Structure 1
Amino acid sequence: MSSLSLPAAELIAQTLGCILFGVYLVTLGIAARLLLTMESGKLKRRSAINWTIVIVSIVIFVNATLNLVVSTIAIVQAFVLYTGPGGAEHVFMNGSGWQTIVKSFTVPFQSLVGDSILIYRCWFLWNKNWVVIALPLLVWLANIACAIRLLDLLGQASQGLVISSTVQPWGQAFWSMTICINVMATSLIVGRIWMVEKDNRKFGIDTLSQNRPRTVLSHAMQNIIESGMIYTVLSIFTLVTYTLQSTLHYPASHLEIQSVGITFNLIIIRASRTSLSRQDVASADAVTVPIHFTHPQANDDQNSSTPVGDRQEVVRLSHDKDSEIMFAPTRMV
């Protein structure tokens, strides 16, 4: 199935890629300011910066820029420099050309980076429990193998499309597993936030809400769900166009690669603004909420001035250096 000619699809893809890259740069600038500076505008101390998130942001930026630059070179070569038989389509059909290989590398690589940070967030929120992320992690590793095999097949093809029958099964497997990882990790993250929110409401605590109708946790769930939906919907669109062997896959892949960076930045921006809107946590890194309950038995061995009936269970809600909402383990004190 091919609804557009290959040259037309490449031109549309390049146009959409440039527009979304501009959106990405705007969100990156805002996110970088939140990651690297304080409210006063001064640079944060090195120890106060979350370097993991900063490095991931740099990797995503370099990869997205590389894809756009190589796509531009291919467009210029096809429509301006090449004057041989077959026209622009001949250039785009060169399956083993370095432009095709680089573009085919940057798109799945961007998705793998986005999936890895999603799994990392899930692992952190679940108290660094490896069992919880075992399945998403295994699928992610399998996805790396699919991407490598996909690039290997493209490198062996002298002529053909990235949506050709030879490489299609591997591409289908890659995008299918990308969707699965996104759904699983997002569900686990939202589930963890919902569990903490449920516990807080169970004990009559509206965490940090200051009598507002919605809590920080509710905003966090909405942020994660909305960002995850953007990425998932575009991944499904990419999978459908790839399966149908439609040239619409080229615009879809450009939407996909830029959406990873945009959604990554939006999570940082929206989480930061939600945090800063709470006056009681504007200058704090963490808030501890005591929940009182009565124990049926006393511990005689414990020399504590606190009565047994006043012992507390602490739920700690912390805003880390890049303004993601993280949760420390619930513990007895």
Structure 2
Amino acid sequence: MPLTPGTKESYLGAFLECIIYGFYLSAFMECCILFRRKERRRDMKQTYAIFTAVVMFIFITVRCIIDTYRCVAAFDFTDPNGDFGLGDPNTTLDLVTNAFWFFLTPFADAFIIFRTFHVWNRNWFVIILPVLLCLANLGSSVWLMIALANLETGLGPTVWANIVFKSLNLFLSLTLCTNIVCTALISFRIISLHRQITNLSSNIAPTYTMRAISIIVESAAIYTLVLVGALVSNRANSFVNFVFFDCTPPHDWSRFFVHHHPS
């Protein structure tokens, strides 16, 4: 029985998703240990971080479980909706797993904005642009879910030419811009503070500050590359985007962990 176009890419994406989830789970456990150590001096900032970590854990874990189940269920050839390739993307499981991704991304963006806000000493002016981008991204996620729910079945490859394709590109572009802007603001702030400190005292070594900057930049680079790959594959009408779609949600956690861990 020939495979439907996109099936191999879907399975590869699910396989990589499970691998990345393993790294994410280790990071989550380490983060829980840090939360436990800071329990006595917990404040609103720490409470929000814990709430974000728990919600992201639920979203990422449920999506990984659903995708794994879809891989197994796809072998049931008597089920017309069991195809894990380019089947109808508006089935119940497809809508649920995509909803967890679409709403996870603005949620993670909001936490990065929260981190940017505190790094800049609660300067509201600095986060105006990131907040607008995050709100627009939340709106695009709703639009994307509506477009998928109303998608006509049996479209096959022509799905690239409809409104789902346009809304998905908007969704990816907005989260990419939010991530780049916030990471640039945090990095610039750290560099500026480091220069001020070194100007006051030449005895302070730059090792730890530069290491924090390196972690932030490297984390943004990984997530940015995944988003760019998804956008490029979309523009090329390639099924490779299925690989990037499955890999993107676990990478959302890397932004939370790196931006929270150095503090």
TM-score above 0.5, yes or no = yes
Superposed CA offset, 1:229-252 (max 9, x none): 111111111211222222111110
Correspondence for 1:100: 94
1:170 to 161, 167, 171: 167
Superposed CA offset, 1:297-319 (max 9, x none): xxxxxxxxxxxxxxxxxxxxxxx
Correspondence for 2:243: 251
Aligned equivalents of 1:18, 1:236: Cα separation in 2:
21
Q: 3-state SS of the aligned residue for 1:130? A: coil
Aligned equivalents of 2:259, 2:116: Cα separation in 1:
14
Superposed CA offset, 1:119-142 (max 9, x none): 111111111111111111111111
* Contact 1:230-1:263 within 8 A present in 2 as well: no
Correspondence for 1:182: 179
Q: Aligned-pair distance for 1:46?
A: 6.7
Aligned equivalents of 1:161, 1:124: Cα separation in 2:
47
Q: Aligned-pair distance for 1:177?
A: 1.4
Q: Which runs of 5+ in 2 are unaligned?
A: none
One-letter code of the match for 1:223?
I
One-letter code of the match for 2:46?
N
* Contact 2:109-2:178 within 8 A present in 1 as well: yes
Q: Which has the larger radius of gyration?
A: 1
Q: 3-state SS of the aligned residue for 1:50? A: helix
* Structure with the bigger percentage of strand: 1
Aligned equivalents of 1:204, 1:78: Cα separation in 2:
63
Superposed CA offset, 1:232-278 (max 9, x none): 11111121122222211111012111111134224445x2xxxxxxx
Aligned equivalents of 1:107, 1:115: Cα separation in 2:
12
Q: Aligned-pair distance for 1:169?
A: 1.0
Aligned equivalents of 1:33, 1:87: Cα separation in 2:
40
Correspondence for 1:30: 30
Q: Aligned-pair distance for 1:206?
A: 4.6
* Contact 2:108-2:255 within 8 A present in 1 as well: no
One-letter code of the match for 2:181?
M
Q: Aligned-pair distance for 1:77?
A: 2.4
Q: 1:52 to 1:205 in 2, by over 3 A?
A: farther
Deviates more, 1:68-77 or 1:139-148: 68-77
Higher RCO (C-alpha 8 Å, min separation 6): 2
* Contact 1:17-1:68 within 8 A present in 2 as well: yes
Aligned equivalents of 1:263, 1:256: Cα separation in 2:
11
* Structure with the bigger percentage of helix: 2
Correspondence for 1:56: 52
TM-score of the pair, normalised by structure 2: 0.88
Q: How many residues align?
A: 256
Alignment of 1:52-201 (within 5 A): 52-80=48-76, 82-83=77-78, 88=83, 92-159=86-153, 160=155, 164-166=160-162, 167-201=164-198
Q: 1:220 to 1:131 in 2, by over 3 A?
A: same
Alignment of 1:271-290 (within 5 A): 271=262
* Contact 2:14-2:68 within 8 A present in 1 as well: yes
Aligned equivalents of 2:258, 2:59: Cα separation in 1:
18
Q: Aligned-pair distance for 1:102?
A: 1.4
Q: Aligned-pair distance for 1:18?
A: 0.9
Task: Give the percent of matched residue pairs that are identical in Structure 1 and Structure 2.
Answer: 24
Q: 1:86 to 1:195 in 2, by over 3 A?
A: closer
Q: Aligned-pair distance for 1:70?
A: 1.5
